Structure 1
Amino acid sequence: TPLARVEARDIVTGRARYTADVRLDRLARGAIARPPVRGARATRVDDRAARAVPGVIAVVHDGDIVGVVAEREEQARAAADALEIDWETPQRASSETQVVPMREDAGTDAALASAALTRSATYTLPSIASASIGPSAAVVDVRPDGATVYAGTHRPFGLRDAVAGSVGLPKESVRVMPQMSSGTYGRSSAPDVSVEAAVLSKHARRPVLVQWSRAEEFAHSPSRPEAVLEVTAGLDASGHMVAWRYDEHTNIHTAAGPDPRVAAMTSGRNAVPPYTIPSARVVLHVEPTPLRTANFRSLAAAENVFAIESFVDELAHASPQDPLAFRLRHVDDPRLRRVIER
C-alpha cells in the first residue's frame, strides 16, 4: 500500500509553512545591494538617500555585505536601490585547469589504434539554474549570546558554522531550525541568504527576514557547471569494447577546495564507465569559470551518465548490435546485470 506524504495535504491546500512564513516578534525585512559583477567590493557607500526612506531601521556595510533593514520589504528594497555605491571590480584571478586522472590503464592509445572499429563523440551540457519555485529565504535572530536561524538547508551544520563565522559567535551558540522548502536541487547547500540575514540582524539588533527575488536568484545563485565530454572507444572484430578514452571538462561542483579526491567525488562523479573494458583512460579537467557554480542534483553524475550511455548506444548502432545485448556483453557485476535485465 502506498504511503501518503504526511505534509501533502498542507502543501496542496496552502497551509504548509515555509521560511518566508516564519514570524517572530519585531521581525524586520532586509534587502541586499548586489554588486555589478561577482566578487566586486564596495569601497564607498553613501547612505543619505537610503536613510531618508520611511521605515528604514539600519543601513549595513559589513565586509562584502551592503544592505538595508526596514520595517517592510518594499521599504528595504527601495532604500537599497537608493544607496550610492562605488564598487571595486576584482582583478581576474589567474587560475589553472585542475587535471585529475580517474582511471589510467597502460596501452589505451595502442588498443584504440589497433581496434577494428573506432568511434568518437563530443557531448556538451550548458550551465543550468536551480530555479527553485521558492526563492531563497532566511530568518535570523542574532543576539549577544547566540543566534537562531530559520532556513531550508541541505547542510544544517555547515550553515551553523557559516552564520557563526559571519557574526563572530561560537558555533555552539548558533541554533539552526530547518524549515520546509521547495526542491532546490543542491541550491540550499549554500548558506548565502542566511549569512546575509545574520549580518543584517546583528547590526539592526532585531530578527531579520531576507528573501531573494526571482531576479536575484537567477543572477546571483550558483548554477550547475557546464560540461564538455569527449569520448572515443574501440571495438574488436567480434564487437567487444577493447579501449575507452574519456575526457570530462567541467567546472568546480563544490566549494570544498582543490583537493583532487573531492574533485573526483563531485566534478568527476560517474565519469568511469560501469562496463568491463580491458583498457581505459578517464581524465577529469576542472576548468576555471567566472560563473558561480556549486552542487547540483547528482553532482556530475547526470552529465557523465548521459554522455556514457548515449555513446554506448552509438557504439551498439555502429556495430551493429542490440543496445541492451551490447551492454550485457560488457557487464560482469551481477547487480548491474539484474538492473539492466529488468
Structure 2
Amino acid sequence: MKFSSAIPRRKFLKIAAMSGTCLALGYVSVFGEEPKIVNLDLENGNAESELNPFIYIDTDGKITLLNHRPEMGQGTFEAIPMIIAEELDVDIANINIMPSPADRGKYGDQMVVGSQSIRRNYELMRRVGASAKEMLIIAAAGKWNIAAEKCYAENAMVINRSTGAKLSYGDLVADARKLKAPDNPTLKQAKDFKIIGKSLPRRDIPAKLNGDAQFGIDIEVPGMLYASIERSPVLLGKLISFDDTKAKAVTGVKYVLKTQREVFGQVRVGLAVIADNYWAALQGRKMLEVKWDNGDLETWTTQKIKDDYIDASRKPAEVFEQKGDFDKTFNDAPVKIEASYETPYQTHAPMEPMNAIVSVKKDTCEFWGSTQNPNGMKDFLSKKYKVPQDSVKINYTLMGGAFGRRSLTDVVEEAADLSKQTGTPVKVIWTREDDLTQGPFRACSLNVCRGAINKDGNLVSLEHKVICQDIRNQSGNNSKPTDGIAGGINTEYAIPNLRINGVLRKFYIPVSYWRSVYHSTNCFAHESFIDELAYAAKKDPIDFRLSLLKNHKRYTGVLQKVAEKSNWYSPRETDTGKGVAIVERSGAFVAMVAEVKRLQGKIVPTKIIAAIDCGTPVNPDIIRAQTEGCIVMGLTSTYKSGLTIDKGKVVEQNFNTYKMLRIEESPAIEVHVIESSEQPEGAGEPGLPTVAPALTNAIFELTKKRIRALPFKLEEL
C-alpha cells in the first residue's frame, strides 16, 4: 500500500480519469436511518445524499481509499484500509490511501477525538468492502452466465467454483460499476478473517522516518507571509498600548497588526509581527514594546486556586448519579475513609507546535495545516467570512501530536484574520513558549472522596465529588457543571450506596480536551481511593476489585490478565512494590499493574504491565503502540510535569521546566491485547488514566506513603 500524507482530491480525480473505467463506492448516512452503500460519482458526488468514505478500483485492479479521518499517530491510515481489504478479499499491499476532502455532507463527522475513528467506522467500512466484492462477483457471474452463488472472491480475483476459471477485479470493473450497490452485503465471520487481527506494519512510519511525510509546519504556499504573535503572559490581559518602531526596523518585517482568537467564549488579544520569513517575524516580535492591563488577574496563583477549590468543596454539589442512601450507610459504618486528591493544569505539548496557513479572499477561503477538526475549520471560515461551504477548502496534513489541542479553531482564527487584513496567505507559527503557556489546558481538579466499610469488610457506600472547571461551561452565568466532569469515575463497581457529584469553578484560565479528558484526573482519585478502601478492608487490592465486579466479564478479564502477567500473587521481591488500577474509556477496558523498586535508596518505576480489551483488535500492534504512548504520557503527567500559576501567568515556559519523560527514564512496558469478537472500541486514550493510580498505589505498597497530589517528585520519596 502506498502512503500519501496530502494528495489533493483534484489530483486523485485526474488519476481516476486517466485510468479509465472504475468502481467507486461509499456509504450514505441519513440521520436516524441505517447507512446504505451507494455508487459514487467521483466528479460530482451524489447531490441527494450525505456521503462518507469511499473506495476506488481501477482497471489494473488497484484500489484507492479516501480516508476521511485525519492521521495524528493513531494509525487509521493503516487500520481503516485493513478493514476494507478484509471484506474486499484483496492483499492490503494493493490498497492506496489518500486523505479525503473536508466535507461533512459527503463524509460525515471527520473530527478525530475520543478514540472514535475505528469504533464509528468498523461496520461501515466492512460493508463498503463487502458491497464492492458482491458487485464484482455479480459481474463475473454475468460474464460466465451462471448464478452468483457459484462464484467466490479471493485475492482480488473472482473464481468460478465449477471450472476454476478466474477473472481479476480489474477485468470486472466496467460491468460492476453499472450495478446497484447491495443494501445488505454479507459480511465475513470472524473465524474467516485473514487481515483483521494481524499486526501489519504501518505504512506511514517509513515516510515519517525518512522525512517524506508532510506536517502542517512543513507546508508553504506561494506568496505567503509569516506571523509571530505577542500575547499577554497573563491570559485575558488587555492590550493598552505598543511601540512597534524597532520591530518594523527588522529586515523582512512587513506589518504589525492587532489580532485575536476566541477560546470557549473568551476573547484573547494579540499583536502580530508579519514578515516574509519566520525568523524576521520572530525577531521583530522580540523588539515590540507592549503594555498590558492584567488587572487583578495578577493576584492569581496555584495556591489561590487550590484554596478556592477547597472552599468550593464545602458547598452544595450537583448530583450526577445516586443510588441507595449514602449518608445513612456512611454514618452508620464502623470504618470510614475520607481523602482528597489534587491534579494540576497540564498543557498538551505536541512536538509540532500550533500552526496554520489561511488565505482569505473575497469569495473563497483556504486552509493548510494539521487539524483534528477539518469540519470545524470549514464551518468557522464559512461563517466568519460569509463564504459558501463549497468555496472553503481545507487541506489537512499529518499531525505532529495533537492530544485534543488541535480540535479547536483558535489558531486558524488568528491566521485568517491576518490574511484578511494583509490580503495574502499568512502562516501563523506558535513558539514552544506560546504552546506551553497560552492554553487551553487540561483542567486542574480537586477530588474529595468518602467511603465506608461494614463489619464484614465489604464496601457499602462511596461518594466521589469533583471540583473543577467544565470544558462545556466556561463563560456566562450558568453555575451548574455538566456530568462530563465526572468522566473516569467507575460506576460498574457493585457499590450499593453511591453518590457522584460535582462543583463548577470558573476562571480566566481556559481548559480544553486533553488525552482522555477528565478520566486522566478522576481515575487517579477514584482508583487511589478504591485502593485505600481495600487496605481498610484488609483485602488484596485485585481481589477487592474483583469482588466488586463479579458480573463484569470484561473488567474481570483484564484484571485477571495483569494479575497473571505481573505475578501479582507471588511473594514480592525485596524492596519491590506493585499497584493496580482499572478504567473504562471510549468503550475499552484497561487494567494496569505498576512495579516500583528501591534501588540505591531511590524509588524507581521499573515495569508497567497493561491489559486492554477494546473489542475486536483490528491491528493489535497499533493498539499496543497507542497504549505504550498513553503510558509514557501518563508517567510524564504523574511525576515529571505540571503547570503552575504565579502572578496570573504560567511559570513553565519550555521543556527545561515542563519536563518530558526521557526514553532512558522509561520503565519496561508490557501491553497485552485481549482477544475478542466484540465491537471494536477506542484505543488512543484508554491506556492513560490508570498510569497515575497504579504507580502511586505501587509506591504505597512499598513505602506506606499515600500520594494524593500530582505531580510528585520521585527523588523526594
* TM more than 0.5: yes
Verify the 8 A CA contact 2:339 2:529 in the aligned structure 1: yes
Query: In the alignment, what sits opposite 2:676?
Result: none
Verify: 1:23 aligned to 2:220, yes or no: yes
The letter of the residue matching 2:418 is L
Segment drifting more, 283-292 vs 66-75: 283-292
Q: Which has the higher contact order (CA 8 A, sep 6+)?
A: 1
Verify the 8 A CA contact 2:473 2:481 in the aligned structure 1: no
Corresponding residue to 2:280 among 36, 57, 75: 75
Corresponding residue to 2:339 among 105, 110, 121: 121
The letter of the residue matching 2:519 is A
- What is the CA–CA distance in structure 2 between the aligned matches of 1:5 and 1:211, rounded to whole Å? 29
Query: In the alignment, what sits opposite 1:155?
Result: 373
Verify the 8 A CA contact 2:469 2:507 in the aligned structure 1: yes
- What is the CA–CA distance in structure 1 between the aligned matches of 2:391 and 2:435, rounded to whole Å? 29
The letter of the residue matching 2:448 is E
Verify: 1:204 aligned to 2:422, yes or no: yes
What SS is found at the alignment partner of 1:229?
Answer: strand
User: Larger radius of gyration, structure 1 or 2?
Assistant: 2
Change (3 A) 1:162 1:87: farther
Corresponding residue to 1:7 among 201, 204, 221: 204
Corresponding residue to 1:32 among 206, 217, 229: 229
Verify the 8 A CA contact 1:42 1:86 in the aligned structure 2: yes
Query: In the alignment, what sits opposite 1:225?
Result: 443
- What is the CA–CA distance in structure 1 between the aligned matches of 2:480 and 2:457, rounded to whole Å? 35
Verify: 1:337 aligned to 2:563, yes or no: no
Query: In the alignment, what sits opposite 2:411?
Result: 193
Deviation by residue 1:241-299 (Cα, 9 ceiling, x = unmatched)? 1111111112223467677998312x221235320111111111222233222111111
Query: In the alignment, what sits opposite 1:42?
Result: 239
Change (3 A) 1:300 1:62: closer
- What is the CA–CA distance in structure 2 between the aligned matches of 1:159 and 1:298, rounded to whole Å? 23
Correspondence list, 1:79-118, <5 A? 79-89=284-294, 99-105=317-323, 107-118=325-336
Segment drifting more, 280-289 vs 129-138: 280-289
1:74 shift after superposition: 1.8
Verify the 8 A CA contact 1:102 1:284 in the aligned structure 2: yes
Deviation by residue 1:70-120 (Cα, 9 ceiling, x = unmatched)? 10112112333334444343676xx99794311234521110111132222
Aligned length: 340
Verify the 8 A CA contact 2:467 2:504 in the aligned structure 1: yes
Query: In the alignment, what sits opposite 1:276?
Result: 494
Verify the 8 A CA contact 2:247 2:285 in the aligned structure 1: yes
1:65 shift after superposition: 3.9
- What is the CA–CA distance in structure 1 between the aligned matches of 2:392 and 2:520, rounded to whole Å? 35
The letter of the residue matching 2:278 is E
Query: In the alignment, what sits opposite 1:236?
Result: 454
Verify the 8 A CA contact 1:70 1:76 in the aligned structure 2: yes
- What is the CA–CA distance in structure 2 between the aligned matches of 1:129 and 1:248, rounded to whole Å? 20
- What is the CA–CA distance in structure 2 between the aligned matches of 1:166 and 1:38, rounded to whole Å? 24
- What is the CA–CA distance in structure 1 between the aligned matches of 2:288 and 2:382, rounded to whole Å? 27
Paired-residue identity, %: 25
Corresponding residue to 1:138 among 351, 356, 370: 356
The letter of the residue matching 2:329 is A
Verify: 1:287 aligned to 2:484, yes or no: no
1:45 shift after superposition: 4.3
Verify the 8 A CA contact 2:452 2:460 in the aligned structure 1: yes
Segment drifting more, 269-278 vs 213-222: 269-278
The letter of the residue matching 2:546 is L
- What is the CA–CA distance in structure 2 between the aligned matches of 1:62 and 1:330, rounded to whole Å? 54
- Provide structure 1 residue ranges, at least 5 long, that are not aligned to the other structure: none
Change (3 A) 1:245 1:323: same
Change (3 A) 1:65 1:215: closer
What SS is found at the alignment partner of 2:482?
Answer: helix
The letter of the residue matching 2:560 is E
1:157 shift after superposition: 2.0
- What is the CA–CA distance in structure 1 between the aligned matches of 2:438 and 2:284, rounded to whole Å? 20
- What is the CA–CA distance in structure 2 between the aligned matches of 1:269 and 1:152, rounded to whole Å? 28
What SS is found at the alignment partner of 2:207?
Answer: helix
- What is the CA–CA distance in structure 1 between the aligned matches of 2:270 and 2:391, rounded to whole Å? 22
- What is the CA–CA distance in structure 1 between the aligned matches of 2:479 and 2:505, rounded to whole Å? 13
The letter of the residue matching 1:118 is K
What SS is found at the alignment partner of 1:223?
Answer: coil
Verify: 1:328 aligned to 2:550, yes or no: no
Deviation by residue 1:182-237 (Cα, 9 ceiling, x = unmatched)? 22211112222221111111112111111111111111122211111111111222
What SS is found at the alignment partner of 1:129?
Answer: coil
- What is the CA–CA distance in structure 1 between the aligned matches of 2:444 and 2:407, rounded to whole Å? 19
Verify the 8 A CA contact 1:111 1:234 in the aligned structure 2: yes
Q: TM-score, normalised by structure 1?
A: 0.89
1:146 shift after superposition: 1.5
Corresponding residue to 2:253 among 51, 56, 64: 56
Verify: 1:247 aligned to 2:476, yes or no: no
Segment drifting more, 255-264 vs 183-192: 255-264
- What is the CA–CA distance in structure 1 between the aligned matches of 2:471 and 2:203, rounded to whole Å? 33
The letter of the residue matching 1:291 is I
- What is the CA–CA distance in structure 1 between the aligned matches of 2:474 and 2:372, rounded to whole Å? 15
- What is the CA–CA distance in structure 2 between the aligned matches of 1:86 and 1:166, rounded to whole Å? 29
Segment drifting more, 159-168 vs 233-242: 159-168
Deviation by residue 1:319-339 (Cα, 9 ceiling, x = unmatched)? 111222211221233433333
- What is the CA–CA distance in structure 2 between the aligned matches of 1:329 and 1:253, rounded to whole Å? 35
The letter of the residue matching 2:320 is M
Verify the 8 A CA contact 2:324 2:496 in the aligned structure 1: no
- Provide structure 2 residue ranges, at least 5 long, that are not aligned to the other structure: 1-197, 261-268, 298-307, 562-717
What SS is found at the alignment partner of 1:141?
Answer: strand
- What is the CA–CA distance in structure 2 between the aligned matches of 1:188 and 1:109, rounded to whole Å? 43
Verify the 8 A CA contact 2:480 2:503 in the aligned structure 1: no
